[in-house]
Structure 1
Amino acid sequence: MFENIRDDWKSHDRQWNRHGFWVLVIYRFGRWRYGIKPRALRVPFSFAYKVMKFWSEMLLQVELPCEAVIGRGLVIEHIGGIIISGDAVLGDDCTLRNGVTIGLRRKGTRGSPRIGNRVDIGTGAKILGEIVIGDDVAIGANAVVLTDIPSGSIAVGIPATIRPMKGGRA
């Protein structure tokens, strides 16, 4: 847990006052508590996590359940209105901005996006359904992504159209 928090702190420019950093601290704590085997010891940590998560959602407006799988180096650039489904998977070195939704396409159906490494997700983007986003992808502001995106691409528009990236990485 502490190694991941140290990485998150570095990703947020070593600034303890970045809101995205604190969202990730609460997320990492929530994941860590699952490793406590005796139920009697885990219960107070679970209670503390639920209180911190509640306040995080209220004050920072970021819904990031500890059931989601988040890689190293996630940067939450701007907080507010970010929703990540509990079964979503995000790779390493991804960037999220405000208003991003990563989740289910329809209520009552399982299957959230699997997002690769070094994916840059613009403000207001919606990534929905059981889809795969490749590595080194840029998703434009307000894009609605409903299909797989291959590595090294850009997705823009509603619904998102996919274009190859010019000049390399996102």
Structure 2
Amino acid sequence: MNGFLRSVCRDLHRYAHFEQTRPSFAFAVRMLLLTQGFQFVLARRIQDLIVRIPVAGRPLRRVWWWWTCRRFGAEIAIGATVGDGLYIPHPYGIVVGVCTIGEDVAILQNVTIGARGPEAPSQAVIGRGSYLSAGSVLVGAITLGEGAVIGANAVVLTNVPARATAVGIPARIITRG
């Protein structure tokens, strides 16, 4: 439970950072009741908590995951590892396959992270502080370095170094950090 609360608090701080405000009780209530992006991230945190229930945890997690996918029209795979401070302002059309998402990552609407094909490895690694713009697609076993920025509608097929910006189809590095 302690890890759950830590994750939720870090997520709230991340939302406050992007809204340029201070986290407060009123802010937390607003996020909980009115912000679908935060609700989606919270649903993922609850999913990670449910699996800890002895015996019934795994099937309950699967049901919760299914309900979350239906409710938000977005999906983060059950096998994905998600770091604290996840920021998803608009949880629409997001499909995240099995991957590792670092801390303080921002994912905008219509982002896809997945495999290149049914036989190809799909374990993408998204580094801490990365920013995935709207409509970006990451396919294959790629690694985004810490603080990488992926431009809108970019298709990333290769690794992106730390603090670099990648844009285009296929994505190419335009700036290095």
> Does TM, scored on the shorter chain, surpass 0.5?
yes
Matches within 5 A, 1:72-111: 72-86=84-98, 88-111=99-122
- Partners of 1:81 and 1:65 lie apart in 2 by 13
SS at match of 2:49: helix
Match of 2:143 among 122, 132, 135: 132
Match of 1:2 among 5, 20, 26: 5
Identity %: 30
Instruction: Compute the displacement of 1:47 (Å).
Output: 4.4
Letter in 2 for 1:24: V
Structure 1 residues 124-144: Cα deviation after superposition (integer angstroms, max 9, x where no partner): 000010011101111000000
Q: Which runs of 5+ in 1 are unaligned?
A: none
Instruction: Compute the displacement of 1:48 (Å).
Output: 4.0
Deviating more after overlay: 127-136 vs 6-15: 6-15
Letter in 1 for 2:75: E
How does the TM-score come out when normalised to structure 1?
0.85
Structure 1 residues 54-80: Cα deviation after superposition (integer angstroms, max 9, x where no partner): 232123111013321111111002121
Partner of 1:24: 41
Aligned length: 160
Q: Are 1:119 and 2:130 matched, yes or no?
A: yes
Partner of 2:83: 71
Partner of 2:51: 34
- Structure number with the higher helix fraction is 2
- Partners of 1:12 and 1:52 lie apart in 2 by 23
Letter in 1 for 2:38: F
Letter in 2 for 1:9: L
SS at match of 1:55: helix
SS at match of 1:10: helix
- Partners of 1:98 and 1:83 lie apart in 2 by 9
Question: Is residue 40–residue 91 contact of structure 2 (8 Å, CA) maintained in 1?
Answer: no
Question: Is residue 119–residue 135 contact of structure 1 (8 Å, CA) maintained in 2?
Answer: yes
- Partners of 1:66 and 1:32 lie apart in 2 by 12
